[in-house]
Amino acid sequence: MPKFKEDSGDWTIDAVRRTRIGGAWTGGAIPIGEASEAYQVTLGNGTVEATVTTPSLPYTWTVADQTTATGAEVPEGSLEYSIAQISALVGAGYEAEATA
């Protein structure tokens, strides 16, 4: 999962979306098998975490949001995050997890 620490201190988190109707991890305009596209993104510093729902990726975790969630900017090497696609039928699917 690509992730980038911007010069501003913001984190940009991205992933290649998955189709739920017989496909594999891929990019491009393929059907996702859902009424709408949405993701659950959980971000933290190893001690405190925040979970947000976003209708699309990439997701930008601003320094202001990092500070609200964890008390400070999350430095490179301390970010723990996961992304799950949300289904109207079952909620959040399997999470892809990473550190940065």
Domains of the chain, by residue range, sit at 3-99
pLDDT of residue 59: 95
CATH class (in words) of the domain with range 3-99: mainly beta
- Tens-digit pLDDT profile for residues 54-73: 999 999 999 999 999 999 99
Q: Output the DSSP codes for the chain.
A: --EEE-TTS-EEE----B-SSS--B--SS---SSSS--EEEEEESSS-EEEEEESSS-EEE-HHHHHHHHSS---TT--EEEEEEEETTTEE-PPEEEE-
pLDDT of residue 77: 92
pLDDT at 84 over 80: yes
Tell me which of 22-26, 29-33, 92-96 is least confident: 22-26
- Tens-digit pLDDT profile for residues 25-41: 555 565 667 778 899 99
